[in-house]
Homo-oligomer: A and B are copies of this chain.
Amino acid sequence: MSKNLTTRSEDYSKWYNELVVKADLAENSGVRGCMVIKPSGYAIWEKMQAELDRMFKETGHSNAYFPLFVPKSMFEAEEKNAEGFAKECAIVTHYRLKNDPDKPGKLMVDPNAKLEEELIVRPTSEAIIWSTYKGWVQSYRDLPLLINQWANVVRWEMRTRLFLRTAEFLWQEGHTAHATKDEAIEESEKMMHVYADFVENFMAIPVIKGLKTETERFAGAEETYCIEALMQDGKALQAGTSHFLGQNFAKAFDVKFANAEGKQEYVWGTSWGVSTRLMGALVMTHSDDKGLVLPPNLAPIQVVIVPIFKTDEELEIISKVVNELVSAFKKIKIAVKFDNRTTQKPGFKFAEWELKGVPVRIAVGPKDLENGTFEVARRDTLSKEIISKDSVVSYINDLLDQIQKDLFDKALDYRENHITEVDSFEEFKEVLENKGGFVAAHWDGTAETEEKIKELTKATIRCIPLNRVEVSGKCMYTGAESTGRVLFAKAY
């Protein structure tokens, strides 16, 4: 099973593609650029959703649902946003098929069923939501609006990759409206922190919080906050973004409110989102050449129990002990599976659960029964220990916390070892080529230089870190003045 998996050192990209499919997370569909998220993958996404949803509600947000389609005139109302998405959107032009007179049994688009106005399949929902908010906001008492939506969106990408870049993907998009600029900025920062908290503490992926440059900013935003993660191949991955929209959408859709003095003002907005792309980050941050490595928080199965037996009688005796153990785990909400298949050998099962990333494996055979012990193996380190029956439940309860922590620490360690300060463009290229990771360098602040560096190296400015030290220096490319380092990297 895992024998067939390409290793990371052989071909990281191939390893990823193979792993996603072999671990049954997702596969390409018969529809160009669209994926099927399989039950094993979707179960992980559901865990992410549940935790994020809890965090959104805890911070005062409610869920709602807005239409899939955006009429063209609505889509183009906020010009920058429209321009940013116009080149990659799916467009509905007709609403009926009819029998094809030339091909019996085949259908054709009915030319008499052309829409008066084309509908864009939402690539993001600012337009449709702000056109709705216009009806919801009259006075400052109606603000803030703190709304989130779980939805599918479509961006017509030409080169797609499972989870990382697909024509259709699943995401959540928060859209909030505020009476003041400060409050809107506070909201966009707050949600960046919520994302960072989630990705670090729930997914065990360390991130750097920062601001996007104008070039990399969301189309229609005044400011884009982001969290950037680092994959094992030294490439960065944008894990979430939160946008301060200023009054751009309020102006485009004429959303005004009467302030406490009765004066009409435009509303201030934010939007923020994370997507199934996080599934890609999860796979690429923790997994290894044997397969997935899942942090316990996200593992649909946290503990798998594999019986070692030769006869039905042995299995029966083992099952009695295991069933008690299963009950004990369930009582403390540990997700456990007893793999009592008689059609597969233990070695096959070990490899299968390793491929699928189950954090802890317990093996139990006749000898363990005699000794009152279990063999406990960690998926992340592949280490094994013999644990006595009496303490195994509390041992594993602690072990799951430990694994969660260790995965984060390991990823953090890698990330910290892959932030390199450079002061010349030669050095910059050298680090990008031979080491990868984030490269902290001075930049003159112009879009031209940013573009030129991207052209020459494929590296982009991932972010201006929020915690950067203001220190004057010279742009590594042009030598012009800079007030602090920004983080470059090649990115997904």
Q: Is the CB of A96 within 8 A of B105?
A: no
Counting chain B CB atoms within 10 Å of each CB, which of A67, A86, A88, A135 scores highest? Answer: A67
Residues of chain B lying within 8 A (CB to CB) of residue A132:
27, 29-30, 36
Residues of chain B lying within 8 A (CB to CB) of residue A92:
90-93, 121
Q: Is the CB of B63 within 8 A of A46?
A: yes
A39-B147, A88-B95, A152-B152 known; A168 vs B67 contact (CB < 8 Å): yes
Q: Is the CB of A118 within 8 A of B128?
A: no
Contact with B along A29-44 (1 / 0, CB 8 A): 1110011111101110
**A89 to B92 CA separation, bound complex (whole angstroms):** 10
A181 on interface, CB distance cutoff 8 Å:
no
- In A104-132, which residues have CB < 8 Å from any B CB? 105-107, 109, 118-121, 128, 131-132
**A231 to B94 CA separation, bound complex (whole angstroms):** 35
**A39 to B174 CA separation, bound complex (whole angstroms):** 13
Residues of chain B lying within 8 A (CB to CB) of residue A107:
72, 75-76, 82, 86
Q: Is the CB of A43 within 8 A of B63?
A: yes
Interface size class of A (residues with CB under 8 A): 35 or more
Give the number of times this chain occurs in the complex, counting copies.
2
Residues of chain B lying within 8 A (CB to CB) of residue A170:
65
- Closest B residue to A94 by CB, please name it: B91
**A105 to B39 CA separation, bound complex (whole angstroms):** 44
Q: Is the CB of B87 within 8 A of A97?
A: yes
Question: Which residue from B29, B35, B37, B128 sits with its C-beta under 8 Å from A30?
Answer: B128
Q: Is the CB of B90 within 8 A of A69?
A: yes
A30-B131, A30-B132, A128-B30 known; A93 vs B65 contact (CB < 8 Å): no
Q: Is the CB of B34 within 8 A of A62?
A: no
Q: Is the CB of A91 within 8 A of B109?
A: yes
A68-B152, A74-B30, A168-B69 known; A119 vs B90 contact (CB < 8 Å): yes
Residues of chain B lying within 8 A (CB to CB) of residue A89:
95-97
Q: Is the CB of B31 within 8 A of A119?
A: yes
Question: Which residue from B35, B87, B97 sits with its C-beta under 8 Å from A120?
Answer: B97
A458 on interface, CB distance cutoff 8 Å:
no
**A194 to B156 CA separation, bound complex (whole angstroms):** 39
A459 to chain B, nearest CB (A): 28
Residues of chain B lying within 8 A (CB to CB) of residue A46:
63
A79 on interface, CB distance cutoff 8 Å:
yes
For the complex of A and B, the 7 pairs showing the least CB-CB separation, nearest first, are A34-B67, A39-B62, A86-B97, A37-B65, A95-B156, A91-B94, A31-B67
Which residues does A use to contact B, with CB under 8 Å? Answer: 27, 29-31, 34-39, 41-43, 45-46, 62-72, 74-76, 79, 82, 86-98, 105-107, 109, 118-121, 128, 131-132, 135, 147, 151-152, 154, 156, 168, 170
6 residue pairs A–B, Cβ–Cβ below 8 Å? A42-B64, A75-B97, A88-B96, A89-B95, A89-B96, A93-B93
